[in-house]
Structure 1
Amino acid sequence: MSMPAAIEAVRAAFIGLTAGEFDLPPRQAFGGSRSLVMAAHHRPSGSTAVKVVSIEIERDPVITGTLVYSHPDGQFVTDAVPLTTLRTGAVVGVATDLLAEEDASHLALIGAGAQAADQVRAVHAVRPLKKLVVFNRDAAKAEALLAGLEDELPDTVVDIASDADEAVREADVVCCATASTMPLFSGDSLKERVHVNAIGSYRPVMRELPQELLATAEVVVVDQVEAALSEAGEIIRAVHSGVLRLESLVELGAALDNPPLRQGRTVFKSVGVAVQDWAVARLLA
């Protein structure tokens, strides 16, 4: 399955979510969010995706799990891991296409784990990259990531940064894909015009983004407000401290229907919702 196809499928799913086409119960978390269960039912097609995953930060692979996709003509079961990295990349592609400058070509990637490659592929699909800078605490992982992407980015200059602030300093687009509990970089390190995606944190105790970024961003888009207020540590902290107004949060589907201006700093924060899994699974059916 190609990344552009996944991006278009996820884009359509979020528009459908805003239009009321889905039943989308809150994600169920067990064992300190080490086990997650998420489901989406698409009423027009009568199809349902249910995913169960286990997450252990110190394990390799971090995520294991299974997805079941059911539709009126049958069902199939598939490994949730590649589907999850693909759909997470795809939603970043949707948000980057919506919010990043048309000529954005310099990506900074923080984190070189399982999600990283599809983050790069997604941004490259909507904003062809002239430069890619990666920072990871284990530089060997960053080197391995770049080696694996070499054939896909033949015309892209690649580099490994010594710290996150260095990595983001000249970037047009930033992608954060870590399990950090503290902001990864200073807001002062960013350009005045930059788009930032954050997909790593999925628990209230986790944070990737600095509060000053959320306080000064022209627009903060989330996959779903309810999910963000339950699981996105940086959003929860910013709203509770008063630096981010709850009513200023924009859901991705609504932003696609009424695109905001591309100006200043923009943010997309995703904790992942089941319509993404449904969208990519439907392409496999």
Structure 2
Amino acid sequence: MKVLSAEDVRRTVPMPAAISAVRDAFLELAAGHFVLPARQIFGDGAVLVMSAYHTPSRTAVVKKIGIALDQVPAIRATVIWTGAGEQLVADGTSITTLRTGAVVGVATDLLAAPDATRLALLGTGGQAADQVRAVLAVRPITEVAVTGRDATRAAALAKTLAAEFPAVHFIPGTSIDDAIITADVICCATSSSTPLFSVDALPDRVHVNAIGAFRPTMRELPRDLLAAASVVMVDQREAALEESGEIIDALTSGTLAESDLLELGTALTTKPDPTGRTVFKSVGVGPQDWAIAAALAASVRSS
């Protein structure tokens, strides 16, 4: 049995490779090549267990997640990947942030303007940095507004990212409206239970990713944005209907119908024609974890 640390995960699967792996996994999901048991939720979402079985390779991944929103990182997880005669255990916290960033990279590549240069990051928690890394991997971003409730944390994150991406201008702050007013891409990575902004504060052409709200009681996006968006894309319809507060609210209110939700795997095979404002809402699904774990296992096998 091979045990991999967070440092091993980062060294072995850089963000561009993670985006490619996750993109391929969603194509496999769309083709019906995964068995996905329902996510198990304990303690009102304090503990989650996710799993996925890839039928062509006969490999599986199981992830146990502990969530404490008052801590940094808020997510602590362990991933177990199993194949015929081999098993790998890896730091699930790094895999979770990496695969969540990667799926945002895939979605942004599908929906954001090809010449997008300005990114607004809303949130400074454990998921935030990989949101930036993913968008920078697929779009020619030159300016990033880093916004959080705590100005000190926003400044610290901006400084860390600036050292990693010296050609990009990072602007820390606490005003969401100032951050999004000229944004081409917005990444929401918060634990908010109420929408972070009004639709009137958005540019006419913008792509919005939302990954922070993972419970039915949580919402980062305003209902009016979902109503006005030319594309509302989700990682998987079934998961979004069960866990996304924004999607559940939009369906309950009649703002959206289930048929309005475009699944990511479908969009990869039949590409949408995005205009105006677009949205990608992710709650996370097992094939994302499988994609990163499979890449790790392949690297271990070849070393």
For normalisation by structure 2, the TM-score amounts to 0.93
Q: Is there any run of 5+ residues in structure 1 with no aligned partner, and where?
A: none
- Aligned-partner residue type, residue 263 of structure 1: T
8 Å CA contact retained: 2:155, 2:173: no
The equivalent of 1:58 in structure 2 is: 70
Distance 1:24 1:204 in 2: 20
Q: Does 1:139 align with 2:173?
A: no
Count matched residues. Answer: 285
Per-residue deviation, 1:116: 0.5
Q: CA RMSD in A?
A: 0.8
The equivalent of 2:123 in structure 1 is: 111
Counterparts of 1:237-276 in structure 2 under 5 Å?
Answer: 237-276=249-288
**Alignment match of 1:154 (pick from 157, 166, 175):** 166
Distance 1:151 1:128 in 2: 18
Per-residue deviation, 1:113: 0.5
Distance 1:32 1:141 in 2: 28
Q: Does 1:25 align with 2:37?
A: yes
Cα shift readout 1:245-270 (whole Å, capped 9, x = no counterpart): 22110100001111111211110000
Counterparts of 1:36-55 in structure 2 under 5 Å?
Answer: 36-55=48-67
Distance 1:64 1:277 in 2: 14
Cα shift readout 1:176-220 (whole Å, capped 9, x = no counterpart): 000000000111111111000000000000000011100000010
The equivalent of 1:186 in structure 2 is: 198
For normalisation by structure 1, the TM-score amounts to 0.98
Distance 1:216 1:35 in 2: 35
Cα shift readout 1:3-54 (whole Å, capped 9, x = no counterpart): 0000000000001001001001121111101100000000000100000011
- Aligned-partner residue type, residue 122 of structure 1: A
Distance 1:224 1:61 in 2: 25
Distance 2:131 2:219 in 1: 18
Distance 1:7 1:30 in 2: 30
- Aligned-partner residue type, residue 248 of structure 1: D
Per-residue deviation, 1:160: 1.9
Per-residue deviation, 1:61: 2.5
**Alignment match of 2:28 (pick from 2, 16, 41):** 16
Q: Does 1:95 align with 2:98?
A: no
Cα shift readout 1:160-179 (whole Å, capped 9, x = no counterpart): 23311221110000000000
Moved over 3 A (4+): none
Distance 1:129 1:151 in 2: 15
The equivalent of 2:183 in structure 1 is: 171
- Report SS of the residue matched to 1:239: helix
Per-residue deviation, 1:128: 2.4
Bigger mean CA offset, 77-86 vs 152-161: 152-161
Distance 2:16 2:85 in 1: 27
Q: Is there any run of 5+ residues in structure 2 with no aligned partner, and where?
A: 1-12, 298-303
Distance 2:160 2:131 in 1: 13
- Report SS of the residue matched to 1:11: helix
